[in-house]
Amino acid sequence: MKNSKIKINKSRKHDFRFEVANLITEARYHYKLTQAQLAKKVGTQQPSIARIESGSTLPSLSFLERLADSIGTYLIAPKFGFMNQEREGIFEEEILEKRFNTGSILSPYGEELSASKRVY
């Protein structure tokens, strides 16, 4: 008898595949498009959109870029989980403003990096 137990990773906090699926579905609803209409705009078939929206397929970055272009919007880069937390009292906007105003190279936490700590 074969072992029919399936291991499920319950420690995973977010399922990226379903987050992407929900974003695409939400965008499609926002623009009042059917799956077939969206597929035509993107240059694919309706079953591809259905697979992505169901979470059974994770689209490539190039597909997501085509999709965004086809509906007249753009992508925002994803982040790692720790990046959603407040960073020692400095928010992303403040970090970007500090980078712009000072011209210095900053860590993701808003700290100025010395030449020895810079990674290129």
Question: Phi and psi (nearest 5°) for 87?
Answer: -105, 95
Write down the pLDDT at residue 9: 46
Q: Does residue 40 register a pLDDT over 70?
A: yes
pLDDT at 3: 46
Cβ(17)–Cβ(58) under 8 Å?
A: yes
> pLDDT tens-digit profile of 71-98?
999 998 877 766 765 554 555 556 556 5
pLDDT in tens, 15-25: 888 889 999 99
Domains annotated on the chain, with CATH: 16-70 (1.10.260.40), 82-117 (no CATH)
- Compute the distance between CA of residue 118 and CA of residue 120 in angstroms, rounded to an integer: 6
Q: Please, is 23 exposed, middle or buried when counting C-beta atoms within 10 Å of its C-beta (0-12, 13-18, 19+)?
A: middle
With 80 as the cut, is the pLDDT of residue 35 above it? yes
- Exposure of 47 in the CB half-sphere (CA atoms within 13 A): 0
Please give the full DSSP string across 51-105, using - where no structure is assigned.
Answer: HHHHTSSPPPHHHHHHHHHHTT--------GGGGS-BTTB-HHHHHHHHHHH---
pLDDT band at residue 108 using 50, 70 and 90 as cut-offs: low
